[in-house]
Amino acid sequence: MEQQMLSAQVTLVIPTDKVLIDKVEYQELKKKEFDGWVGMKEFVAKSNRSAPTISKLLKRPELIKILSVENGGWVYYPKEGSHWSFHYKEMMEFINKEFYNKYAGGE
């Protein structure tokens, strides 16, 4: 049996209130939309620095005064037996605008 190749042109109409984007771009947009709390693992992944480096930086007294949730900030400093928590949007803003520029990425 001989195979035939067929080519066709299809026209799709996308409504004006819709957009067509790549799946990867959509997933990135969904991540940016997230407005919850994340742990140290996420901070490490987004900043490309180790947990000890980040901890050392965030434990600076001048940063505790600004960043601690107890002072209206976005960092929950762990008490004995608990874990770091970071409000995601503020964490990303800090990484993008201050982490490398002001603090050399924690180094």
What is the tens place of the pLDDT at every residue in 7-29?
Answer: 999 998 999 999 888 999 988 88
Mean pLDDT for the stretch of residues 43-60 = 93
Which pTM value belongs to this model?
Answer: 0.67
3 state DSSP class of 46: helix
| Burial letters 44-58, b for 16+ CB under 10 A, else e | eebbebeeeebbebb
Mean pLDDT for the stretch of residues 30-53 = 90
- Calculate the average pLDDT of the chain: 90
Is residue 2 over pLDDT 60?
A: yes
Contact 91, 43 (CB under 8 A): yes
